[in-house]
C-alpha cells in the first residue's frame, strides 16, 4: 500500500508514463535527448504545480488559525531555545520564499519578540515548510525528506540561539527599533473565508514562483539529459574535496524557493551527486539568496548580517559534510 501511495500519489509515476505516451504520439523517441528532455520538463512542471496547488491551499487554510497577532502573543512570552524552536516551527507553516519572509521578520522585530526567535523564523521559513516535506518525499523519498526538514529546523534553532546569546539587539537598524506597530483585530474566519484565503494563497504563491519553476525544470532537464555524468561528478562528486563548498557557494546567489530548486536537485541526484551536497545546495539557495540578503541589509546592521550569513554557511556545510560522511 505504501509503495502504491509513494509511486502513484507522491512520485506520480502515472503522470510520467502519460507524458511519455504523449511525446511518443508526436513521433519522438524517449531514448533521444530531445524526447527525454521534453518528458522531464512536462512531467516535472505539471507535477510541481499539482503539488503546489494542493499543498499551498492546505497551508493557507491552516494559516487562518494562526494570524500574526495571535502568533506574536504566543511567541512573546517564550525565551531561550523553546522560543527559538517555536519560531522555527512557525516557519514551517508559512509558504514564503526568503524575500517574502523579511516583512514578517520586521513585524516580529517591531513587536518586541526576542531576536533569537525572529532569526529562527527567518532561517526556517524559506528553508523548511510543510510543502517541502511532501515535495521532497515525492522526489527523493521519505528518509531524505525527514532528514532535510529535521536538520533545517535544527539549524534554525541553533542559529537563533547563538544570535540570542550574543545579545545583538543594538545591531537592528535604528529606524526598525523605533517603529511602533499599530494594533489590529484578529479576524474571525468562517469556513468559506478560510477556503477563500487558501485559494488566494495559491494564486499569490503561484504568481511569484511560476517563472522560477519553469527555469528550474528547464535547468534540471538540461542537466539530466545533456550534461555528462562524469562532468557533474568531477565538480560536485565525492572525488572533489571542494564539491560541497562549491555547491553551497553556487546556491547562495540564486533566488528560488523549494519549488524552483527541486528539479535541479533531482537532476543532480540522478548524476550521482551525494545527498549531503544536495542538501547543502538546496539549503543555500532557499536561505541565502542574494535578493533576500540585500533586503535584510536594510533591516540589520553589517555585523549582525555577517553573523547570520556565517552561521547559515557553517551550519549548511556541517550538515552536508555529515551526510556525505555517513553515505560513504
Distance CA 76, CA 86 (A): 11
CA distances for 138 relative to 30, 148, 263, angstroms = 22, 13, 11
Give the pLDDT score at 69.
61
Q: Is 112 left (phi over 0), alpha (psi -120 to 50) or beta?
A: left
pLDDT of 273-308, one tens digit each?
888 898 888 888 878 877 677 767 877 889 999 999
DSSP3 helix / strand / coil % (the chain, rounded to 5): 80, 0, 20
Chain mean pLDDT for the chain: 79
Q: Cell 541553533 identifies what position? A: 158
Distance CA 75, CA 108 (A): 9
pLDDT of 54-100, one tens digit each?
867 876 787 777 665 666 666 656 667 777 887 788 777 665 555 55
Distance CA 133, CA 146 (A): 7
pLDDT of 130-139, one tens digit each?
666 777 887 7
Give the list of residues 6+ apart from residue 267 with CB closer than 8 angstroms, or none: 40, 219, 220, 221, 222, 223, 224
Confidence (pTM): 0.68
Q: What's the pLDDT band for 172 if we cut at 50, 70, 90?
A: confident
Residue 179 reports pLDDT greater than 60: no
Q: What's the pLDDT band for 182 if we cut at 50, 70, 90?
A: very low
Give the list of residues 6+ apart from residue 319 with CB closer than 8 angstroms, or none: 151, 155, 276, 279, 280, 283
* Long-range contacts of residues 298-301, Cβ cutoff 8 Å, at least 24 apart: 298/173, 299/102, 299/105, 299/106, 299/109, 299/172, 299/173, 299/176, 300/171, 300/172, 300/173, 301/171, 301/172, 301/173
pLDDT of 241-276, one tens digit each?
888 999 888 877 666 666 677 888 888 888 888 888
Amino acid at each position: 500500500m505504501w509503495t502504491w501511495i509513494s509511486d502513484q500519489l507522491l512520485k506520480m509515476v502515472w503522470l510520467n508514463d502519460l507524458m511519455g505516451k504523449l511525446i511518443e504520439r508526436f513521433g519522438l523517441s524517449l531514448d533521444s535527448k530531445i524526447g527525454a528532455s521534453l518528458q522531464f520538463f512536462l512531467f516535472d512542471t505539471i507535477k510541481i504545480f499539482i503539488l503546489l496547488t494542493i499543498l499551498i491551499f492546505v497551508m493557507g487554510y491552516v494559516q487562518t488559525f494562526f494570524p500574526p497577532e495571535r502568533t506574536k502573543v504566543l511567541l512573546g512570552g517564550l525565551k531561550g531555545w523553546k522560543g527559538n524552536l517555536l519560531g522555527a516551527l512557525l516557519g514551517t507553516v508559512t509558504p514564503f520564499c526568503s524575500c517574502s519572509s523579511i516583512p514578517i521578520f520586521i513585524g516580529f522585530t517591531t513587536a518586541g519578540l526576542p531576536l533569537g526567535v525572529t532569526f529562527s523564523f527567518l532561517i526556517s521559513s524559506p528553508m523548511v515548510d510543510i510543502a517541502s516535506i511532501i515535495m521532497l518525499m515525492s522526489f527523493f523519498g521519505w528518509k531524505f525528506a525527514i532528514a532535510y526538514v529535521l536538520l533545517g529546523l535544527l539549524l534554525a534553532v541553533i542559529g537563533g540561539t547563538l544570535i540570542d546569546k550574543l545579545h545583538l539587539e543594538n545591531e537592528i537598524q535604528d529606524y526598525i527599533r523605533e517603529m511602533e506597530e499599530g494594533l489590529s483585530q484578529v479576524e474571525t474566519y468562517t469556513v468559506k473565508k478560510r477556503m477563500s484565503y487558501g485559494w488566494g494563497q495559491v494564486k499569490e504563491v503561484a504568481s511569484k514562483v511560476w517563472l522560477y519553476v519553469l527555469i528550474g525544470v528547464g535547468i534540471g532537464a538540461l542537466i539530466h539529459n545533456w550534461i555528462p555524468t562524469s562532468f557533474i561528478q568531477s565538480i560536485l562528486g565525492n572525488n572533489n574535496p571542494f564539491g560541497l563548498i562549491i555547491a553551497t557557494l553556487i546556491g547562495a546567489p540564486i533566488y528560488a524557493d523549494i519549488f524552483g530548486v527541486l528539479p535541479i536537485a533531482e537532476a543532480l541526484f540522478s548524476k550521482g551527486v551525494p545527498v549531503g551536497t544536495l542538501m547543502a545546495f538546496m539549503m543555500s539557495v532557499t536561505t541565502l539568496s542574494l535578493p533576500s540578503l540585500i533586503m535584510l541589509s536594510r533591516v540589520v546592521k553589517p555585523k549582525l548580517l555577517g553573523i547570520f550569513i556565517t552561521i547559515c554557511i557553517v551550519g549548511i556545510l556541517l550538515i552536508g559534510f555529515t551526510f556525505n560522511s555517513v553515505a560513504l
